[in-house]
Structure 1
Amino acid sequence: MTSQELRKKYLEFFREKGHMIVPSSSLVPSDPSVLLTSAGMQQFKSYYLNEKSPYGENVTSVQKCFRTSDLDSIGDESHLSFFEMLGNFSFGGYFKEEAIKYAHEFITKEMGLKIDYVSVFKDDSADGISEDRDSEKIWKSIDPSLKIVKAGKTDNFWGPTGSEGPCGPTTEIYVNNVEIWNLVFNEYYKDANGKYSLLKTPGVDTGMGLERLAMVSQGKNNVFDTDLFQPFNFFTFLGRDGRIIADHLRGSMFLIADGIKPSNKGAGYILRRLIRRIVVICKINSIPLESLISRVERAINYYNFYKELPINKDKIIKEIKEEVNEFNKIIEKGLNEFFKKYPEMRVEAITPGKAYKFHAVKIIHDAFYFHQTFGLTIDIIKDLAKKGGHIVDEDVFNREFQKHQQLSRTASVGMFKSGLADHSEQAIKYHTAAHLMLAALRKVLGKHVSQKGSNITGERLRFDFSHPEKMTSEQIKLVEDAVNEKIQEDLPVKMEEMSLEEAKKQGAMGVFESKYGERVKVYTIKDNSSQASSESPFSREICGGPHVERTGLLGKFKIIKEESSSAGVRRIKAVLS
């Protein structure tokens, strides 16, 4: 039975049982306490709290869901980031007996599958939630020979979605030793303080992953061999790495179709992590990046159940292509530098008769640097480590990363004083380029030049400076050449903390209309002629950062516009390529 037929069979089964079919809601939820829609019940959450449902008491749906909690497990037989949730819900219309009987009928009679066993909630004395004896009795009345396993809160209690809301004990159905259906009985409300109270009207919230149902009904060993991943079978033959590509590419399509764009915040950062992980896996497996877009186009046409995909086809392709191309510009150098720094991450040969040394690699001082400069997320670093037969000490990584984030936040207020709109690696490159450009402007135009303002994004640099007249084309060329020369020299960018008085003594440039603290950060770029001498450096500025570690990471600098900003102030717009 195809996945399309499974969707139809499920919805029709519950429509005949008196349920209204409700379309999937967006992956971007209306509930501000959650980042993405992770369950079928989220769009119905308020109806469990006595708000009247416009659909009636009983509904059914196929809901698009996205979960990040299982990212480490993706690539095995059954875990996914994006998945489709078949669900039936009741807001006071029926409860445990009908829900369990419907589930048993659908699995055994409609699908012709054999249930291995079911699980029910044991108890939780800490929260005063009693054992679910009702579900156990109902299952025994349906099939006295059925194996029933009892489990505690970790396995058989679900919810709430977000910080508070409806929740309750669950009973889970296993087929071929795979959990395929989870029936949640919303009897309780958990408030923001963690306190449980009984709901006035108990409800039913069930969820069955379409991919897992397809796996057991189609007789496959994993979800990636089902027809749902047919557009991506070019990748899935590669094993775990190929499965990750297939999962992340499929998830990215649906996120973009629902209005999410790659960014460094919230759901946009999740999307960016997915796409960048794909790029790295393609690189280390010699998979052409061009193959990604052709598979996306196939998948958009294949998943015709979701009309938002073809409607947003151009946008999906554009966002994926741009993120892939942008990351591809820096990742090669990033991987080379990473393996140079951590050679133990490389794949190690196994010598017969010699014990294999399995160890945890500590990514400590460079965690923030590799993330900010090359976009190596923790997911990517863990993948690289796993390739070499190692594991990453993730706690150490996260502590170091958070420490550097805090330092960066302390050095800036709101939009950073340095004019950065965000902390993306491209914006950081433009920030360093601004320092080089100011030094070049002073060299070409004279020492009267000082910074009057800047606005830096991941796309371009805008810089205002004091100068009484329009620059000539020759002067613009000289500034460009001076900046590109320092980029070619791959000079180190050094940061020192010192008193404001000492910074001024050393000739550090600064926007002295700003209020600096007693101690400041000073970034210095020494050219080759001044490295081993007492000559003044090419650039020295008081700045909150952040910056790249070497100028060679910037690419080619180009001024695209020079114009008047105000009386006595000129404005330059420049890009890196």
Structure 2
Amino acid sequence: EQKTRDERVELPRPSIDTGMGLERLSALLQGTHDNYETDLFKSLIAAIVEETGVEAEGKFKASNRVIADHLRASSFLIADGVLPSNEGRGYVLRRIMRRAMRHVELLGVKEPMMYKLFPALEREMGQAYPQLGQAGELITETLKGEEIRFRKTLKRGLKMLGDESGDLKAGDKFSGDVAFKLYDTYGFPLDLTQDALRARDIAVDTDAFNAAMEKQKATARAAWSGSGEAATDTIWFDVKDEVGATDFLGYDTEKSEAVVKAIICNGDRCDAINAGDEAAIVTNQTPFYGESGGQVGDRGEIVFGDTVFKVTNTQKKLDNLFVHMGTVESGKLSVGDPVEMRVDHAGRSGTRQHHSATHLLHEALRIVLGTHVAQKGSLVEPDRLRFDFSHPKAMDRDELLRAQEIANRVVQQNSPVSTRLMGVDEAVEAGAMALFGEKYGDEVRVVAMGEGLPEQDGKAAYSLELCGGTHVNRTGDIGLLTVTSESATSSGVRRIEALAGNAARAYLEERDRQIRDIADSLKVAPGKVKDRVGNLLEERKKLEQELAAARKKLALAGPGSGEGDDIEEINGVRFMARVLEGIHPKELRGLMDDAKKKLQSGIIVLIAVNEGKAGVSVGITPDLTDKYNAVDLVKIAAAAVGGKGGGGRADMAQAGGPDGGNSRAAVEAVHKALSG
């Protein structure tokens, strides 16, 4: 350690940091001093050249190297469960990907390309790192989707960058405020702005950029601190320093005795609370589960003699301080009181069922969709579960049914659910799934469920996960699992919602009741509902077609009995106009074609009035388009019904307006224009 120019503290074991990492060692073994001349990068760069047709030489040398390096980094991050986002490690991934994609664009490639390079990376590294192959579909879909989105961002950003920097010359500085606007409004990172301007020897005013960034953060901090949350959160540090961590007893019991150690009222410490007071209570030990890992906090009661404190939520602060939120229903509660803690049994039972069902569903999805599936979030409540997972596209109905069927097979095994404490490395080596990004201590709780299925290639346990939540004793206690929906939450992340136990049974009973009610209305057996509905839809389709044909025929039949009694002549040109009540504007085009055939030569105005609004169509037969323009005439008609503009061709144009009551005035307006 160099303390001053003349004073240095020697290392206990003097050594030299050579920086001899794996890549440099590989370079030396292959007789080069350049990491990019090793076999790994040479093959990746060769694949890039093959895709782009641009040699990795001269000014394009750096771009090829950036793409190769960032492709590798991005692929491994995605394989480890990181997906591009606007915060945390996801934002780091997005910046890496977008820098590479910018260099793809510099090579003149106009379509997404990076995903096409993944097979070359897998060939080089897939044997040593099999997780690349396992996550291959997720990696390629993520790379492709991100590059499609980025090209839109790049187009907007480069246009603004060009507009704002057009007058700058070499040596000038680009406005930091504009650079921040590019970042904040268009998602255009600072390093991309710098890259784009570097070729012109223009720097970015990073001081102004940072100042704008800090100003935005200060505004956000001010808004947050004003909410009162910051003051409340700091209290828990003091409470934990004073009373210590809470002992959690909830894995083994739903009731226990405890001592009140601290009470928080309105963000401040207090000694006692009375009936009607809302507060947060900390005890020395508790059977109440504190909200974490997607599982909601327990509800229940804290009782001291005649005093009842209703717990509406339990939260976990600072890892192991359990905080019971609620209201005093009766009596008085003070710090130091010995109390009885009672968890709501029905709520806890439902939560256990849904949490265990989440584990079964997770493994079922990995069997059906592939091992790239990883948990991205969850919510476990007493009456439902929500599970977010990595997958690039929507699941079809067969995939959902198969995943549901697999999970219910394990429920029917009624096999014991076991938990044991293990070291993290030991647990992962045993095959336990750990969630990427979660923080684990030296010792973790491993939950095993079910017996391995034939689809799992000899696995002893169906599911093995690191988990601190509460679970059923046997898989049969889950009762039943039914999936209610599947949707997208963000790019590359899907969401399944499902029900277990009594909630699933009630849901299916309600569905059955609805089917029986429908069957009664249709006067068929429940098993025939699908066929009957199909027949009704087919009948409806035919009736709609017949109705449309009848309307069309009626619309062109004219108000009188004669064929041409609504056709007049204006300045030697035949003119036909109709106001059609109850006709949808989208039907005007077909009606206009028929009217032209009927009229043969002339000008036609058709106005469809539907729900008080008017759709206007003006048609001109081919022999008159050199004298009259349908667009000009339709604008005149549209103005009369409160519309603006109109568009189309010289022989046919359409417009609309909100005032269908003025349709006759619209016809008169066109008539007057032709007469003049």
Q: TM-score, normalised by structure 2?
A: 0.30
Larger radius of gyration: 2
Structure having the higher helix fraction is 2
Q: TM-score, normalised by structure 1?
A: 0.35
Larger relative contact order (CA 8 Å, sep ≥ 6): 1
